[in-house]
Structure 1
Amino acid sequence: MSWYPRVLYDGHGEISDVCLKRKIRNRLQDMGEEIFVQEDSRIDDGYRSLKERILNFDDFKNEYRNKKPDFKKIYDSTCKKWIDIRTFGQVFPFKGAGNNLSTNVRGCMSLWGATSLDVIDVQEIISIKSTNLNETEKGRKDSASFFHRYMVHKAAYVTYGSIYCQLAEKNNFTEEDAEKIHQALITLFEGDAAAMRPAGTMNVQKVYWWKHNCKTGQYPQIKVFKTLDIQPQKEYPFFTVTETPLPDLTPEVYTL
């Protein structure tokens, strides 16, 4: 099966926030971080489900058995163990010891889905598949079959995000964690190649990384985002950026 790329009602392409978070988790895992929500093909602790993984975590398991679970302990210990929980949050809707044990961690990082700057051109590619796994009644191999694959010919996508300092402190999310997220964004598509997105065809062109000098932020998020006027263009890299910096808030800029 080949999935059709996400297209919004107006023809613009979309990469969901869930997809982006999956790629960030994979990059963090490549950095040696413990990840709670692991991809099936990348499981590194032997647990095949989230329930199995959490119930084999001693701090959770002990509270799971209590009639009066210590929800704060669950919150703190799960944040401490898994970077994706303290970053993106997690819900634990399980039943234990005759009581409903349902608690959640609110992630400190907010991430938008990425949207293309222009209407996308989705190309359909028809391929021939022949596995020769079985023989027919007449002793012949399986016949070849056609299947359809889809790819976006060319497009530039933009996403925005932020880290909420008050929740970061509550979740024990550190400056070192933030820098790992920064690096994960820069290398987002490393190790993510597939048939319809060969190595090098998808890449991060620019990352703007702002650091405020106070916990509440020097400026509202939307005002910071609007310092970048991002417009589509026909030639590679398919976008232009006009910057209007705010006083005393200069971003660190990565450019491919």
Structure 2
Amino acid sequence: MNEFINRGTGLLLIDVTNSNPNGDPDRESDPRIRQDGCGEISPVSFKRKLRDLVEAKDSPLWQELAEELDLPKEGFDIMESKKTRRADVNKLSLQELLDKYWDVRVFGSTFLENDKNENESFIASGVVQFGLGVSLDPIRIERMTTTKVMPVEEGKSKGMAPLAYRIVSYGLYAMPFFVNATAAHKTQCTKKDIELLLRLIPHVYKETASYIRSQVDIRYAFYVEHNRARGTYNDFRIIEALTPKRITGMSGPATSWHDYDEAVLMQSLDELNVKLIGKTAPVIDLMEQL
């Protein structure tokens, strides 16, 4: 195993315009929404996109990152994949699983429960945990019927999808994430595994855009690496300092990024960096890697 990983604290500010960042299967794929009217993006949906980027070994993105990070050809498969067969997983020892699957080392897995030898430890929790992404303000959901020239049903002159286009007109979502160095001992997660994750984050939405997610992207991807594995500063104070505030006097659903006071956010960032001196590395924006 490589040298120890330090604790990390991150906050993603996900900007959504006329798109559905995460459909809710319990509401006919409406954008996810809370009782208070704020939108949601599930951690599962975000991690799925990260897994897809790692699995796409023929993509220019993967080939560039593999070269830049000097990644070995083996050890970066994805277990939570449609291509993975449970029977093949059951043949592997716990060590072979850790050596083979990047997502098991980084995110852990409940897929292994009851499948491995009783003398082997299950990996239920991983090193990296993404929290629920919640919009900073209530969102408006728009629905529209769409048509297509080629119908799905035989004998129809055109196809209709009543109210199938379900989007958020605008929302700014905050999704925290944490690197728990303590779990790395169990999953054998390395610094290179975490570096790959951090390099992938800026590309999550750009490289997986779709018809219904055409304007979803990360505006800021703040990340703080602590000076020690156990952490050296309060996670929630970091997240609070990096969360944007509405321009004074504005309320209700936001209509664009300009409804938030970016100058106040940058001032809060500068003040936070002063407090972090000697405790963590300075706050970085992963999006600057682009």
Question: Would the TM-score normalized by the shorter structure come out above 0.5?
Answer: yes
User: Equivalents in 2 of 1:254, 1:93: separation in Å?
Assistant: 34
SS in 1 for 2:29: coil
Please report how far the alpha carbon of residue 82 of structure 1 lies from its aligned counterpart in structure 2 after TM superposition.
Answer: 0.7
Q: Is the 8 A contact 2:170 2:256 kept in 1?
A: no
Report what 2:216 is aligned to: 202
Q: Which runs of 5+ in 1 are unaligned?
A: 61-73
**What TM-score do you get using the length of structure 2 for normalisation?**
0.68
In the TM superposition, what is the alpha-carbon distance from 1:152 to its structure 2 partner?
0.8
* Map of 1:71 onto structure 2: none
Deviation, structure 1 residue 100:
11
Per the alignment, residue 247 of structure 1 pairs with 276
| Structure 2 residue matching 1:170: 3-state secondary structure | helix
Q: Where in structure 2 are there 5+ consecutive unaligned residues?
A: 1-24, 57-61, 67-75, 248-254
State percent identity of aligned pairs: 19
User: 1:101/1:251 Cα in 2 relative to 1: closer, same or farther (>3 Å)?
Assistant: closer
- Asked if the contact 2:131–2:177 (Cα under 8 Å) also holds between the matched residues in 1, the reply is yes
Task: State whether residues 140 and 169 of structure 2, in contact with CA within 8 Å, keep that contact through their aligned partners in structure 1.
Answer: yes
CA contact (8 A) 2:109 2:125 kept: yes
2:30 aligned partner: 4
Secondary structure (helix, strand or coil) at the match of 1:93 reads coil
How many angstroms apart in 2 are the aligned matches of 1:185 and 1:158?
14
**Contact preservation (8 Å) 1:20, 1:113:** no
Q: CA deviation at 1:247?
A: 2.9
Following superposition, the deviation at residue 185 of structure 1 comes to 1.4
Whether the aligned pair in 2 keeps the contact of 1:132 and 1:141 (CA below 8 Å) is yes
Structure (1 or 2) with the greater helix fraction: 2
Report the CA distance shift for 1:81/1:141 in structure 2 as closer, same or farther (over 3 A).
same
User: Whose radius of gyration is greater, 1 or 2?
Assistant: 1
Hey, what's the Cα distance between the residues in 2 that align with 1:113 and 1:154? 18
1:16 equivalenced with 2:59 (yes/no): no
What is residue 147 of structure 1 aligned with on the other side?
162
Aligned 8 A contact 1:13 1:115 in 2: yes
Residues 110 and 162, structure 1, Cα contact 8 Å, conserved in 2: yes
CA distance in 1, matches of 2:116, 2:187: 24
SS in 2 for 1:209: strand
Are 1:224 and 2:250 an aligned pair?
A: no
CA contact (8 A) 1:95 1:102 kept: no
| 1:88 aligned partner | 107
Provide the C-alpha distance between the structure 2 equivalents of 1:115 and 1:121, rounded to a whole number of angstroms.
14
Instruction: State the Cα distance separating 1:6 from its structure 2 match.
Output: 0.1
Asked if structure 1 preserves the Cα contact closer than 8 Å seen for 2:233 and 2:276, the reply is: no
Whole-Å separation in 1 of the counterparts to 2:45 and 2:182? 26
Per-residue CA deviation, residues 204-246 of structure 1 (Å, 9 max, x unaligned), is 1111111111111111322322332422464335543232312
Q: Is the 8 A contact 1:15 1:114 kept in 2?
A: yes
- Residue 149 of structure 2 is aligned to residue 104 of structure 1: no
Distance change in 2, residues 1:96/1:192 (3 Å): closer
SS at match of 2:136: strand
| Distance apart, 1:150 and its partner CA | 0.1
Equivalent residues, number = 225
- Name the structure 2 match of 1:126: 145
1:28-47 Cα deviation digits (max 9, x unpaired): 22337311112x4xx4xxx4
Distance in structure 1 (CA, Å) of the matches to 2:89 and 2:231: 35
Deviation, 1:94, is 4.0
TM-aligned CA distance change 1:221 to 1:126, over 3 Å: same
Q: Secondary structure at the match of 2:209?
A: coil
Distance 1:146 1:164, change over 3 A: closer
Q: Is the 8 A contact 1:127 1:146 kept in 2?
A: yes
The question of whether the paired residues in 1 share the 8 Å contact of 2:108 and 2:187 is answered with no
